[in-house]
Structure 1
Amino acid sequence: MTTSGDWQETLDELDRRRRHAYGMGGPERLAKHRDKGKLDARARIDHLLDKGTFREFGTLVGGDIAADGIVAGSGLIDGRPVMVGAEDFTTLAGSIGPGGNAKRYRLAELALRDRVPLIMLLEGAGFRPSGEHYGRTPTDLLSQTQCSGKVPMVAGLLGPSAGHGALVAPVCDWTIMSAQGAIFTAGPPVVKESTGEDVTKEELGGPDVALTSGVIHNYAETDEAVLDDIRRYLSYFPSSAWSYPESLPEDDAAQPRPTPELLDIVPRTNRRVYDMRAVLDVVFDDRGWFEIQPRFGPAIICALAHLGGHPVAVVANQPLSLAGSIDADAADKAAHFVMVADSFHLPIVFLADNPGMLPGSRSERAGVLRSGARMFAAQTAATTIKLHVTLRKAYGFGSMVMSLLGFDNQSATFAYPGATMGAMSASALSKASHADEDLEAKLRQMEVDASFRSAGHLGFDELIHPEETRNVLLWALQRALYSRQAAPEPVARTVITP
């Protein structure tokens, strides 16, 4: 391309400034960063997005500080637009300056304006120490919060993230951390100065801490694996709350089929445990499913899956953990997951098999009733399609939080024959009432007959054979999808509570 002589000097200056920004922290810092097995900020974006689709803005922000420590722009994932920001740890430890703060605000502003997902790749030291006052510094978090429930928001933790920058993660709908990730209010030096405690960044907020506390949802070993999982997570979601999730083209993986395997997987007796994950493997499409937050509140499984090619959210009790009893962590996890699914119009499939909320002094000290109420409020307020199956049992409040409740706006409710339900199990009621042997036997027989009595007065829509599980859910979902006869809108709430 021929350039007019009048332009050459100016364009050379533009090129020089761009090259400085593209160079990030310089060859030595980049080499040190890569020697740790990490991708740099620009390489992370390149891996995340469809090849050649990244379009940067704010390249020259920061002047001598390359891109002011954050690379920002738009691109495509599976052909759909997203906004993405990646903190550059090689440039002043990815710290936030005035220009970087403005770019972060602009990312969220454009995500909401254009109704596309927002992705933040975090590895930074928080606000940059400076003698100047940055003005209204938290504006990026304000704009991010305004996105909540309107566009999907995802954060990847790919190194240490502290202070203000770390707050980006819990405000997002979903977060994932690499082996080298860490997240904390303040880093080890500040902790030492403030409290006298000697602690490493791993002990303060590494994966073992952040995943078990519930601050971070998922884990992947490497940068590349984290970025691949971000792409996978977003594949289940629409671009915004103004659109519905896209169904996959029909293929063999999405066809109706019986599920006789469930007769071997699900024991008839309530006294035996089994792995609910095996049920998900059989019921949902052969493409596999994606579990959310597996290391927090394991008594409930939250997962994204496809049913007949349609993206769905799954909330299932896990008998392998606490015999399926719902503790505070499990309820908190499920409440947040239900709110996210509802916000983006994913149908929710509830698979119930629990003896109720977890009793005991330790559970009460953890606030199990408060957390259970939070889960109940989330699911009963959900306006999306809801489908329910009780496999063996669902007692008391444990049935209500799992959407087994009349007049609760479900599209379909099913139960297996012999499923037991009520205020409490026969065993617990016998002990509580000091029943004699004859009465205890009668209580147990009444428990066995409960599903048939309930079916007799339409306590749920139908008793089903376990072999029918996938097909009745698929047919109910296909019918329920006809309710989408108006343009989707965001759910009427302020934000998704972290």
Structure 2
Amino acid sequence: MAKASDWDETLADLARRRSHTKAMGGPERVAKHHAKGELDARARLDRLLDAGSFRELGTLVGGDIAADGIVVGSGAVNGTPVMVGAEDFTTLAGSIGPGGNSKRYRIAELALRHRVPLVMLLEGAGFRPTGGHYGRTPTDLLAQANCSGKVPTVAAVLGPSAGHGALVAPVCDFRIMSRQGAIFTAGPPVVKESTGEEITKEDLGGPDVALSSGVIHNLGEDDETVLDDVRRYLSYFPPSAWSYPARLPDDATTAARATPELLDIVSRDNKRVYDMRNALDVILDRPDWFEVQPKFGRAIICALGHLGGNPVAVVANQPRVMAGSIDADAADKAAHFILVADSFHLPIVFLADNPGMLPGSRSERAGVLRAGGRMFAAQTAATTLKLHVTLRKAYGFGSMVMSLLGFDNQGATYAYPGATMGAMSAAALTRATHAEEDVSAKLRDAELQASYRSAEHLGFDELIDPRETRDALLAGLHRGLHARQAAAEPVSRTVILP
């Protein structure tokens, strides 16, 4: 008869091997990592995941190389199962070996198979220089690309990330970086060898560079802030495109209410600047909404929040930046955000207050028409519920990219009385046509009457008092959500983005 003691030697060997893996790069390297003010890979997973939920996969992969430089497994975030990977910089600089590559592929494969989010915590040197070739071994990026639009994907850059590992970030829906992060195709030594350029990792791909280029969406001060923001971001999303976002329980914040504050926030004078963020504080359930890419394309605000307890995505013009004129960066940002929101069935609220696309030679060289076309294609192809409000003005293509175009599958369209719209403003049209003063006066009057003429022909579902804004949006949202009478499915993409 077998005895429990028969297992002693075998289990002791397993425990020894596991202990070696969990020691990562060893006490000295781990201590050096902590001395930089950073968490190690395992501490990062502890911070990200619900307490006690982490279950490691591939613990013994790599043999003497602890976990082959990457800790992977499953866990939970806000009670939702997730697949996670954390590059371990203390072990061969978090570089990717054959075993680590297989582990990365495996967690992406399982994320899609089990329809749960995938989160990658990056700090590594890319593929490990071995002098060999991995041949036809599966690459993690193939599995990760298959996840796109089907499960939420998030990358957090928490240190230097180079080469193949760095490519994980731009393939993800949401990318966030700590102050100590850096991301680049190749690090400073390779750059110097290849081009002769001497440059620091901060100047090559630090936060300033990564945020201004749009490669990274958000910035957190430290590891803890970044990981907490990843938890916040995921809280707005369903586990996959096969489910709908979860509604919050009813409380005082989710109830209908008038918004008289908007009369003081949104000036009736089109030329007077206001901060759209203040309007969002009033319209959404609470002022703790989450902004995506606040430092890039600042003429548009992309935000995640709750309306009546329901997670929603908001695309709003920002009059404080270029009077709300939409430049190439803002349009590119919004296009990506709309695609992500649509993929996971978040209703999209468009709040328009812009004089059009940004004109000028610099804007044209930046490709504003291509970017605007991309945003228009994204929003007009969106299958999720769309709600629109024109607050003060929306001109030309700037109105179309904000889902103002009639019969564009909106669930509800509203405007404030006196909102101005048209191909261009009366002032611009006067200058363009060299109109006489009497004609110019008629153009200004027609502009002021535009919202009423449009309402007379059902250009909007209704002109609303600003104090009715939240309640009108809630009515449209609640009605539109009744369309969810069948199981959720991934969105089928048919449009080719410009």
Query: What TM-score do the two structures reach when normalised by structure 2?
Result: 0.98
Q: CA deviation at 1:444?
A: 0.3
The whole-number CA distance in structure 1 between the counterparts of 2:357 and 2:3 is: 73
Residue by residue over 1:360-389, the C-alpha shift from the partner in whole angstroms, topping out at 9 and shown as x without a partner, is: 011000000000000000000000000000
Query: Relative to 1, partners in 2 of residues 1:405 and 1:496: Cα closer, same or farther, differing over 3 Å?
Result: closer
Equivalent pair of 2:280/2:287 in contact (CA under 8 Å): no
The whole-number CA distance in structure 2 between the counterparts of 1:36 and 1:496 is: 45
Match of 1:270 in 2: 270
Match of 2:182 in 1: 182
Match of 2:61 in 1: 61
Indicate yes or no: 2:181 matched with 1:215.
Answer: no
Report the AA paired with residue 474 of structure 1: L
Indicate yes or no: 2:232 matched with 1:232.
Answer: yes
Indicate yes or no: 2:71 matched with 1:71.
Answer: yes
Map 1:101-116 onto structure 2 (within 5 A): 101-116=101-116
Match of 2:429 in 1: 429
- Unaligned runs of at least 5 residues, structure 2: none
The whole-number CA distance in structure 1 between the counterparts of 2:53 and 2:141 is: 26
The whole-number CA distance in structure 2 between the counterparts of 1:28 and 1:3 is: 40
Residue by residue over 1:8-41, the C-alpha shift from the partner in whole angstroms, topping out at 9 and shown as x without a partner, is: 1111111110000000000000000000110000
The whole-number CA distance in structure 2 between the counterparts of 1:495 and 1:479 is: 27
Q: How many positions carry a matched residue from both structures?
A: 497
Query: CA RMSD, aligned part only?
Result: 1.4
- Unaligned runs of at least 5 residues, structure 1: none
Match of 1:377 in 2: 377
Q: CA deviation at 1:496?
A: 11
> Residue 39 of structure 2: SS of its match in structure 1?
coil
Query: Relative to 1, partners in 2 of residues 1:326 and 1:287: Cα closer, same or farther, differing over 3 Å?
Result: closer
Match of 2:129 in 1: 129
Q: CA deviation at 1:3?
A: 6.7
The whole-number CA distance in structure 2 between the counterparts of 1:346 and 1:495 is: 19
Report the AA paired with residue 133 of structure 2: H
Residue by residue over 1:329-362, the C-alpha shift from the partner in whole angstroms, topping out at 9 and shown as x without a partner, is: 0000000000000000000000000000000011
Match of 1:26 in 2: 26
The whole-number CA distance in structure 1 between the counterparts of 2:42 and 2:153 is: 20
Equivalent pair of 2:75/2:83 in contact (CA under 8 Å): yes
The whole-number CA distance in structure 2 between the counterparts of 1:163 and 1:93 is: 12
Q: CA deviation at 1:133?
A: 1.4
Match of 1:117 in 2: 117
> Residue 202 of structure 1: SS of its match in structure 2?
helix
The whole-number CA distance in structure 2 between the counterparts of 1:265 and 1:234 is: 30
Indicate yes or no: 2:378 matched with 1:363.
Answer: no
Residue by residue over 1:403-452, the C-alpha shift from the partner in whole angstroms, topping out at 9 and shown as x without a partner, is: 00111000000000000111000000001111111111110000000000
Q: CA deviation at 1:199?
A: 0.4
Query: Relative to 1, partners in 2 of residues 1:108 and 1:3: Cα closer, same or farther, differing over 3 Å?
Result: farther
Match of 1:88 in 2: 88
Indicate yes or no: 2:170 matched with 1:170.
Answer: yes
Query: Relative to 1, partners in 2 of residues 1:138 and 1:276: Cα closer, same or farther, differing over 3 Å?
Result: farther
Map 1:74-473 onto structure 2 (within 5 A): 74-136=74-136, 139-286=139-286, 288-473=288-473
The whole-number CA distance in structure 2 between the counterparts of 1:245 and 1:317 is: 25
Match of 1:493 in 2: 493
The whole-number CA distance in structure 1 between the counterparts of 2:329 and 2:230 is: 24
Say which is worse superposed, 209-218 or 485-494, in terms of deviation: 485-494
> Residue 59 of structure 2: SS of its match in structure 1?
coil
Equivalent pair of 1:218/1:293 in contact (CA under 8 Å): yes
Report the AA paired with residue 345 of structure 1: H
The whole-number CA distance in structure 2 between the counterparts of 1:116 and 1:302 is: 24
Query: Relative to 1, partners in 2 of residues 1:369 and 1:495: Cα closer, same or farther, differing over 3 Å?
Result: closer
Equivalent pair of 1:42/1:71 in contact (CA under 8 Å): yes
Report the AA paired with residue 378 of structure 1: A
The whole-number CA distance in structure 2 between the counterparts of 1:214 and 1:294 is: 11
Equivalent pair of 1:148/1:495 in contact (CA under 8 Å): no
> Residue 170 of structure 1: SS of its match in structure 2?
helix
Residue by residue over 1:287-346, the C-alpha shift from the partner in whole angstroms, topping out at 9 and shown as x without a partner, is: 521000001000000000000100000000001111100000000000000000000000
Percent of pairs identical after alignment?
Answer: 78
Equivalent pair of 2:117/2:240 in contact (CA under 8 Å): yes
The whole-number CA distance in structure 1 between the counterparts of 2:410 and 2:229 is: 31
Equivalent pair of 1:340/1:496 in contact (CA under 8 Å): no
Match of 1:479 in 2: 479
Equivalent pair of 1:287/1:306 in contact (CA under 8 Å): no
Report the AA paired with residue 230 of structure 2: I
Q: CA deviation at 1:493?
A: 2.5
The whole-number CA distance in structure 2 between the counterparts of 1:381 and 1:471 is: 27
Query: Relative to 1, partners in 2 of residues 1:341 and 1:12: Cα closer, same or farther, differing over 3 Å?
Result: same
Equivalent pair of 1:149/1:496 in contact (CA under 8 Å): no
Query: What TM-score do the two structures reach when normalised by structure 1?
Result: 0.98
Report the AA paired with residue 84 of structure 1: V
The whole-number CA distance in structure 1 between the counterparts of 2:3 and 2:97 is: 36
Equivalent pair of 1:238/1:245 in contact (CA under 8 Å): yes
Residue by residue over 1:71-96, the C-alpha shift from the partner in whole angstroms, topping out at 9 and shown as x without a partner, is: 00000111110000000000000000
Equivalent pair of 1:260/1:467 in contact (CA under 8 Å): yes
Q: CA deviation at 1:4?
A: 2.3
Structure 1 stretches of 4+ moved >3 Å: 494-498
Equivalent pair of 1:155/1:175 in contact (CA under 8 Å): yes
